[in-house]
Amino acid sequence: MTSSRRATQRLNRIVNKPDPSPLPGVASCPRLKMAAPGAAAAPARLVQYVVVRSDLVHTLSWPLGAVITQACHAATAAVHLHYSDPDTQRYLAELDSMHKVVLAAPDEAALSGLSESLTQAGVSHKLWIEQPENVPTCLALKPYPRETVQPLLRKFKLFK
């Protein structure tokens, strides 16, 4: 037990207050705290979805590294374009716990169709078009709460 903890316990006894945290470290660990009834829930976990054309690897024989590079470009561009968005700022603030999900679109038509659907639904994203070839390779959404966008991406499976 630290000296500051002992001092706090002594002070609490003097003023007749019960020790607020009987287990050392519990008061400072937000994951162990239980929410009071009616308390606001923790903010939803933010996820950045990246959708990559799987035919680039499996049919067109692009090197895997080149395809991964495309996904990196799209994810970086989406964050840059929506840098001032509150969800993007919160996502960046949680640097060591960022969460991305990489999904596969079977071909260019599916990727372009998804981009159009997202645009119609008002979902912010970046369709990455490789230059100078002018080939759409992938897209990345800005960070969103999973529940907000997952239904729009339901038909796409994890990239393998």
Q: What is the CATH number of the domain that holds 68?
A: 3.40.1490.10
* 111: nearest Cα among 55, 42, 48, 34: 55
* 108: nearest Cα among 70, 71, 160, 56: 56
Residues 70 and 19 in one domain: no
Residues 55 and 26 in one domain: no
Q: Give residue 35's identity as a one-letter amino acid code.
A: A
* Cα(33)–Cα(158) distance, integer angstroms: 34
Residues 91 and 127 in one domain: yes
* Domain span including residue 96: 46-158
Residues 28 and 72 in one domain: no
Residues 119 and 150 in one domain: yes
Backbone φ, ψ for residue 71 (5° rounding): -65, -40
137-147: pLDDT as tens digits: 999 999 999 99
10-49: pLDDT as tens digits: 544 544 444 444 444 444 444 334 455 555 667 789 999 9
Residues 88 and 21 in one domain: no
Residues 54 and 22 in one domain: no
Q: How many Å separate Cα 43 from the centre of its chain?
A: 12
